[in-house]
Amino acid sequence: MKRMRRILSTLMAVLIIVGVSAAPVLAAENATTFNYKAYADTYADLKAAYGYDATALYNHYVKYGKAEGRVATFNDAGTATTAAATTTQVGTETMDPEPPQDIRKQADWFGKLTPPETMTNARLVAEDNRLNAWMRANYYSDSTQIREENLYIELGGRANALYELAEYQEEFDDDYNNIAHDMAADIVSSDFYKRALMSDTAPLSMYMG
């Protein structure tokens, strides 16, 4: 009987060891292990909006994708495709260089940046996301914060113009409203609205409302 108990105990120990070793080790779910290319390739709307912008795609997944039931994959640490990797292209557009680590060189960097009002919506979103990621990973300075504010003013202005126009449109479609009509006319004539319509508006959708 004692011998049988020892055999059973040994078998249980083996099963536990085998079970533990056979269990899959899940990759940590973070920006470093996020498979942003697979995420973009799975969802055509996101690829159209962000291309392969790793930071923007990861932010979308965290803020909206999970809640929408979108599926993302994560690599193990040894094969990670990092969202912190420098993104230099948005479609056919070349993005501005990231801030130099040496704060003494940032004034020169700032003076050579592309004006936000000349950017497409996709690039504007990508530039804002990348700069925010850089500041979180490194540090905040006067130059980087002013740049981020300038990008977000343009980004918010465009998104807000589209959102407000849709709101006013609904009002005067249901019951013709002179005030709503006048407000809508002001938005349509605004520079933010005109610049928003110069490229695909899909990248602005997550900033509306």
To the nearest 10 degrees (0 to 180), the angle between helices 178-188 and 142-174 is 140
Is residue 168 assigned to a domain? yes
Per the listing, tokens 């980004």 go with: 155
Looking at the domain assignment, is residue 42 inside a domain?
no
Per residue in 63-116, pLDDT tens?
A: 898 888 888 887 754 443 444 445 688 888 899 999 999 999 999 999 999 999
Sign, CA dihedral 106-191-120-87, equals positive
Residue 126 lies in a domain: yes
Boundaries of domain holding 95 = 89-209
In a domain, 51, yes or no: no
Question: pTM value?
Answer: 0.59
Query: What's the domain count of the chain?
Result: 1
Residue 96 lies in a domain: yes
Confidence of residue 33 (pLDDT cuts 50, 70, 90): confident
Highest mean pLDDT among 43-47, 102-106, 125-129: 102-106
* Structural domain includes residue 27: no
Residue 81 near residue 54 (C-beta atoms within 8 A): yes
The verdict on residue 192 lying in a domain is yes
Query: What percent of the chain shows pLDDT beyond 90?
Result: 31
pLDDT at res. 177 = 57
Within a domain: residue 73? no
